[in-house]
Structure 1
Amino acid sequence: MAIGGGVLAAGFGATALGLGLGGAVSAIAGLQIGAVACGVFVIPSVILLGLGIARINLANTFKRFCGIIGPRSVVNVSELAQRSRLSVPKARAALDRMLRRGWFREGRLDASEECLMVTDEAYEQYQHARALLAEQRRTQAIEAKTKAALQAAEEKRRAEAGVTAKAQEVLDRGNAYLSAIRESNAAIPGAEITAKIDQIELVVQSIFERAQEHPEVIGDLTRLMDYYLPTTVKLLDAYEDLDAQPVQTDNIRESKRQIEDTLDTLSVAFEKLLDSVFRDTAWDVSTDISVLHTVLAQEGLTENPFEKSSDTPTLTLHP
């Protein structure tokens, strides 16, 4: 195509030029018409020349690509462009033309046109990996949607229960302290100390269960959270460390005794705190009972203490 186009373009061009000069000199109309006709055939000849040169360049690019790919079955388009000194868009356009012409007989580009696969096996592996990735994304989407739904349900439950984010943070901290107390209890031997820790654990757990059901009492737990529980955990850690010493000296035994006495004090304090968080409930119960007794008495359904018993003797006056 390039040679034929070049020969025809040169021939028609030279002929048109000669006829044109001759017609201009001799003023012969036939020469001028012949020049115009030859000039018309120059245009397709030049087009044919350009197409041939473009195919030659494409074939040379194809040879360079094959040299770069070598024995590999997969290669990045950016690598082909870089090593061929082409821009990525030009390299991609060249690959499109090569694939349309079937020069890579099993060649295919991936969906993003960033990777060339030159064998059917490589393309099948790509399709399988793509299917796995799609399934993974679907699974992740379902998990994300499920997680969002569960979170929304939990937030709704907390909102209905009146548990704010700040209150939940307090409850989470409290549960962390309870876990630390349980771990120390499991690590410290001895029935007496274990009973003390069990009592503290039971009372503290009851406090947080009450706070979970009635978030309005969480504001009364500031001292518990900021001092009492951290101190309790610290004392238990110290007791655990002292009890693990192979030699129990007088100072170690005295320190352990002081910690045990302090646990008794803390247990009493925690019980009083538990009693205080039930104060409103106890007041409501007492009020309800008092009102109930009053209403029953008014309805004559209970014994009125101001009424006389039927067995009470009466005084009769005679004239």
Structure 2
Amino acid sequence: MNKKDFSDLEDQIMSTVSNALKAIDFANLKRDITDKTEDTLNQFKSKFNGYSEKYMILNRKSKNDVSAYISKRPSGSISGILYILFGVIGSLVFGFSVITTLVFKMLFSSVVIISSNIILGVVFLFFAVSLGMLLRGMTLRKRVKRFKKYVRFIDDNSYFLISDLAKFAKEKESFVIKDLNKMIGLGMFLEGHIDEEKTYFMLNNEVYSDYLNLKKQQIAKEIDNEKSNEEIYNSEKEEKESIIRVGRSYIEQIKQIRNDLYKEEIAIKLDKLGNIANQILNQIEKNPKKIQEVNKFINHYLPITIKLINSYKDINNQLIKGENIENAKIEIEKSIDLINTAFENLLDDLFEDVVLDVSTDISVLKTLFKQEGLVEEDFKK
């Protein structure tokens, strides 16, 4: 059927529908059908021009011959009109028949009731089918009208945001997604695709292929990032475990030396040293971010401390204790006091964030209590 023949068919259909509507005045029905029919008469008159190369999806605008990817006879363009035509004719004919049958039944009640009921039932059934055809036709025509609106929005874009189309069409985004999927299934968009996130509509297979490739690259990048993060995490975890393990071994050595020197005054200082060192390691286990702050504590201070108290143990085991030995012991004991003080300060620094969090929480609570009138000053008022 060429363009002229189709135009003649449209004129005939329009004329038939108009004549049928004149037979009986269904005002609302007439207005709706007329609007739907007029909106679709020029469906094959629009053409799309221009062609240029397609670019990468989501990165640049691509100008194509969009008409190559849009059905020239969208589903419902003809069938919708036919449904409306036969629906209107059937509704008029069988509607009139239903009314006639009811009048006949009222006037001639002596006639066999069963036969009149059967006739009424059959006629009403055909009337209902006709109404169904009419509604079906109107639905198809509405979809064709939306399709034309979508095509106008597409212009020369090979992809677009579905949310933008929904705003343009003044429809809910969820409805537009279902509508596009239906149109794709019916072949109205010959190569249409919607992405997995239901965010973009892609007009052709090439753009969709670019999208899939981009998606694969993104997934591969995310996997690499996850692996990298996992490696960093594992590295940090190994570093923490190694430092904790070394620190525990030093503390164990301090305990052993302390047990050998339990009769000496330094034993009390070593108890304190071991306790502080243990608390530092416990805090690092709870908050690994602080591990850099204790590197010197583990790698320098503790080894030197072990060396000092081992020296103390060696000179303390000398049978002859001269003045030099006693002076050395005194100096080491003073050094242990100094080390304990330094380790206490280090431990205190590790609790800086904890104190800050506590202060913040207390400040928030005070503000909330004041707003609710629960502080003591408010009660006095």
Q: Same fold (TM over 0.5)?
A: yes
Matched-pair contact (CA < 8 Å) for 1:16–1:37: no
Q: Which has the higher contact order (CA 8 A, sep 6+)?
A: 2
SS in 1 for 2:157: coil
Amino acid at match of 1:7: I
Matched-pair contact (CA < 8 Å) for 1:81–1:88: yes
Q: Tell me how far 1:11 sits from its aligned partner.
A: 1.4
2:207 pairs with 1:122:
yes
Q: Tell me how far 1:6 sits from its aligned partner.
A: 2.0
User: What is residue 297 of structure 1 aligned with on the other side?
Assistant: none
Q: Tell me how far 1:23 sits from its aligned partner.
A: 1.7
> Equivalent of 1:10, from 89, 92, 104?
92
Matched-pair contact (CA < 8 Å) for 1:16–1:34: no
Matches within 5 A, 1:84-163: 84-162=169-247
Q: Tell me how far 1:279 sits from its aligned partner.
A: 2.8
SS in 2 for 1:156: helix
User: What is residue 282 of structure 1 aligned with on the other side?
Assistant: 311
SS in 1 for 2:201: strand
| Equivalent-residue separation in structure 2 for 1:280 and 1:156 (angstroms) | 26
Amino acid at match of 1:211: Y
Amino acid at match of 1:15: S
Amino acid at match of 2:104: G
| Equivalent-residue separation in structure 2 for 1:209 and 1:122 (angstroms) | 58
Change (3 A) 1:167 1:7: closer
Percent pairwise identity: 16
User: What is residue 46 of structure 1 aligned with on the other side?
Assistant: 131
CA shift digits 1:173-225 (9 cap, x unpaired) = x9xxxxxxxxxxxxxxxxxxxxxxxxxxxxxxxxx9532646xx5xxxxxxxx
Q: Tell me how far 1:287 sits from its aligned partner.
A: 4.6
User: What is residue 301 of structure 2 aligned with on the other side?
Assistant: 211
| Equivalent-residue separation in structure 2 for 1:89 and 1:158 (angstroms) | 55
CA shift digits 1:244-267 (9 cap, x unpaired) = xxxxxxxxxxxxxxxxxxxxxxxx
Change (3 A) 1:209 1:159: closer
User: What is residue 294 of structure 1 aligned with on the other side?
Assistant: none
**Structure 1, 157-166 or 40-49: larger mean CA deviation:** 157-166
Q: Tell me how far 1:137 sits from its aligned partner.
A: 1.3
Q: Tell me how far 1:169 sits from its aligned partner.
A: 0.9
**Structure 1, 22-31 or 62-71: larger mean CA deviation:** 22-31
Unmatched runs of 5 consecutive residues or more in structure 2: 1-82, 248-279, 285-289, 320-381
Change (3 A) 1:76 1:282: same
CA shift digits 1:248-301 (9 cap, x unpaired) = xxxxxxxxxxxxxxxxxxxxxxxxxxxxx853232234356x48xxxxxxxxxx
Change (3 A) 1:55 1:167: closer
| Equivalent-residue separation in structure 2 for 1:97 and 1:16 (angstroms) | 37
SS in 2 for 1:41: helix
Matched-pair contact (CA < 8 Å) for 2:240–2:291: no
CA shift digits 1:52-101 (9 cap, x unpaired) = 11110000000000100110000111111101010111111111110110
TM-score, structure 1 normalization? 0.56
| Equivalent-residue separation in structure 2 for 1:60 and 1:100 (angstroms) | 17
Specify the structure having the higher radius of gyration (Cα): 1
Change (3 A) 1:213 1:42: farther
| Equivalent-residue separation in structure 2 for 1:150 and 1:167 (angstroms) | 13
Amino acid at match of 1:14: F
Change (3 A) 1:212 1:69: farther
| Equivalent-residue separation in structure 2 for 1:150 and 1:213 (angstroms) | 24
Matched-pair contact (CA < 8 Å) for 2:163–2:199: yes
Unmatched runs of 5 consecutive residues or more in structure 1: 175-207, 218-276, 292-319
Matches within 5 A, 1:278-317: 278-287=307-316, 290=318
Q: Tell me how far 1:47 sits from its aligned partner.
A: 1.6
| Equivalent-residue separation in structure 2 for 1:167 and 1:138 (angstroms) | 28
| Equivalent-residue separation in structure 1 for 2:154 and 2:312 (angstroms) | 86
Matches within 5 A, 1:200-279: 210-211=300-301, 213=303, 217=305, 278-279=307-308
| Equivalent-residue separation in structure 1 for 2:212 and 2:203 (angstroms) | 14
Amino acid at match of 2:168: R
Aligned residues: 195
| Equivalent-residue separation in structure 1 for 2:291 and 2:121 (angstroms) | 95
User: What is residue 169 of structure 1 aligned with on the other side?
Assistant: 293
| Equivalent-residue separation in structure 1 for 2:231 and 2:189 (angstroms) | 46
